[in-house]
């Protein structure tokens, strides 16, 4: 079976951080706006973390991490009163896990004891909004704006404006949020692919995408914010990303607004036309956004916490080690020391299967850290893709949930047409 190589993936890929509103110390923000594929990967992970798995279904990895953090804070609360920072974290985690009522309970108590604590007030506003009580959300958010350090004030103000806009709407409204007072239409007065009216474009603030990305990260289950991001992508000349985002808005969020569905058709048609063009012409449709990071959250590798390498055993391989890989042009990979020492040894890691064909059983597949909804705009960097060769060429069924793979690691430091990492003679099973 032919393998899709990194050079081909590049063709697919060509297609601030103001952390306020919801503060959790376990999330380290990068600067926004971040690249679309990185944003959509982390945004989707946050949304899935808030969904309680059905009986027998595997739990999302990020949800597991949040649940573990909640358990530790709940144990601490049984022994002593939580500090303001701890209460803010626990409230934020409850919101992330889809338990806003519990979040309000914790944060209201903390707010009574720490009335001028910024993170408590901001998280309380997000919790009230998630429960659907916009009046209480506005009150808490007003205080968060007053308490916000200068670095976070603009984001808090945007959050407050969003809540006030939603207060004025009919119940269960499904319209495009008028956050910037801009009509996303072209010169004809109707939505146009790849452009908006120049006068309207001038009304958009310089940090428009950063602001809405941040709002969407606080409220990842809110499909209307993702719709607004799709409109901003189109306004900045990237209709392919606009089409991909609107696809998700309609299919994954089941947004029924006729306007959203019509725009999706318009942008999808334009994106399909671009796909027919020679690759050399694709660059002009990337848009004019200056991105400041690849992902909205940064992850640092704690080398001290890495386990000792077992020459004759199976070594757990964290994705964070893979994320340390740097590929200098034209093709000079630099692997983390720990990863280099694992080359040729047996390793295990968990992730999601990403087949390179439509077959229901495969003998080789890509393994990625998080599931992907749209391959065009959410494709991981080459350093975030593992190729797995099943032992004996045996065909295994494609699974939608997380899998655990064990095999021999082979690093690629010389062939730009191959994957950076391959797992040979691999066995595929369920996570521990």
Mean pLDDT of 67-84: 97
Q: In angstroms, rounded to a whole number, what is the distance separating the alpha carbons of residues 84 and 207?
A: 31
Residues of the chain with CATH 2.40.50.870: 302-429
Dihedral class, residue 382 (left if φ above 0, else alpha if ψ from -120 to 50, else beta) = alpha
Q: Return the CATH number of the domain spanning residue range 10-169+202-285.
A: 1.25.40.10
Distance from C-alpha of 209 to C-alpha of 232, rounded to nearest angstrom: 7
> CATH fold of 302-429, please?
OB fold (Dihydrolipoamide Acetyltransferase, E2P) (2.40.50)
Centre a 10 Å sphere on the Cβ of residue 27 and count the other Cβ atoms it contains.
19
Residue that wins the pLDDT comparison between 279 and 171: 171
138-157 tens-digit pLDDT: 999 999 999 998 888 888 89
- Pair 212, 232: CB distance under 8 Å: yes
- Distance from the Cα of residue 158 to its chain's centroid: 20
* 160-172 average pLDDT score: 91
With tokens 């309609």, the residue in question is 250
- Mean pLDDT across the stretch 302-317? 87
Average pLDDT score over the chain? 88
pLDDT at 126: 96
Strands 385-390 and 421-429: parallel
pLDDT at 108 > cutoff 60: yes
- What is residue 246's predicted lDDT score, i.e. its pLDDT? 93
Per residue in 217-241, pLDDT (tens digit) is 999 999 999 999 999 999 999 999 9
Give the per-residue pLDDT at 4.
40
Q: What is the pLDDT of residue 369?
A: 84
If you write DSSP's letter for every residue of 385-408 in order, what string do you get? EEEEEEGGG--EE--SSEEEEEEE
Span 171-177, mean pLDDT?
85
pLDDT in tens, 329-352: 889 999 999 999 999 999 999 988
pLDDT digits (tens, 9 = 90+) for 385-425: 999 999 999 999 999 888 999 999 999 999 999 999 999 99
**How many H helices and E strands in the chain?**
16, 12
Q: Looking at residue 216, what is its pLDDT?
A: 95
CATH 1.25.40.10 positions along the chain are: 10-169+202-285
Write out pLDDT tens, residues 260-306: 999 999 999 999 998 888 877 877 888 999 999 988 988 766 777 78
Question: Looking at residue 12, what is its pLDDT?
Answer: 24
């Amino acid at each position: 079976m032919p393998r899709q190589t990194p050079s081909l993936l590049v063709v697919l890929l060509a297609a601030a951080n103001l952390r306020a509103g919801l503060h959790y110390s376990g999330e380290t923000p990068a600067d926004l706006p971040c690249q679309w594929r990185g944003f959509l990967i982390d945004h989707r992970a946050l949304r899935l973390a808030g969904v309680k798995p059905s009986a027998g279904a595997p739990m999302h990895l990020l949800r597991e991490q949040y649940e573990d953090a909640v358990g530790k804070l709940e144990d601490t609360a049984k022994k002593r009163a939580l500090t303001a920072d701890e209460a803010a974290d626990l409230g934020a985690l409850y919101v992330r896990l889809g338990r806003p009522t519990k979040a309000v309970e914790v944060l209201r108590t903390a707010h009574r004891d720490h009335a001028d604590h910024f993170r408590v007030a901001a998280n309380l506003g997000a919790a009230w909004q998630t429960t659907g009580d916009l009046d209480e959300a506005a009150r808490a958010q007003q205080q968060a704006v007053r308490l916000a350090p200068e670095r976070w004030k603009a984001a808090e103000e945007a959050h407050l404006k969003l809540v006030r806009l939603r207060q004025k709407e009919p119940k269960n409204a499904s319209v495009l949020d008028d956050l910037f007072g801009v009509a996303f239409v072209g010169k004809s007065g109707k939505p146009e692919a790849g452009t908006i009216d120049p006068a309207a474009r001038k009304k958009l603030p310089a940090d428009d995408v950063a602001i809405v990305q941040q709002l969407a990260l606080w409220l990842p289950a809110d499909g209307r914010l993702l719709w607004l991001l799709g409109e901003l992508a189109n306004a900045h000349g990237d209709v392919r990303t606009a089409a991909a985002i609107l696809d998700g808005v309609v299919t994954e969020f089941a947004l029924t607004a006729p306007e959203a569905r019509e725009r999706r058709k318009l942008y999808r048609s334009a994106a399909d036309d671009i796909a027919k063009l020679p690759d050399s012409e694709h660059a002009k449709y990337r848009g004019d956004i200056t991105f400041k990071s690849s992902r909205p959250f940064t992850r640092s590798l704690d080398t001290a916490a890495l386990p000792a390498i077992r020459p004759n055993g199976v070594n757990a391989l964290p994705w964070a080690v893979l994320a340390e890989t740097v590929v200098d042009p034209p093709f000079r990979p630099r692997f983390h020391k720990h990863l280099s020492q694992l080359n040729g040894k047996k390793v295990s890691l968990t992730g999601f299967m990403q087949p390179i064909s439509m077959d229901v059983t495969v003998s080789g597949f890509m393994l990625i850290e998080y599931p992907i909804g749209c391959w065009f705009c959410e494709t991981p960097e080459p350093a975030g893709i593992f190729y797995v060769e099943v032992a004996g060429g045996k065909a295994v069924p494609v699974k939608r949930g997380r899998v655990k793979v064990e095999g021999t690691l082979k690093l690629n430091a010389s062939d730009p047409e191959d994957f950076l990492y391959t797992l040979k003679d691999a066995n595929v099973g369920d996570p521990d």
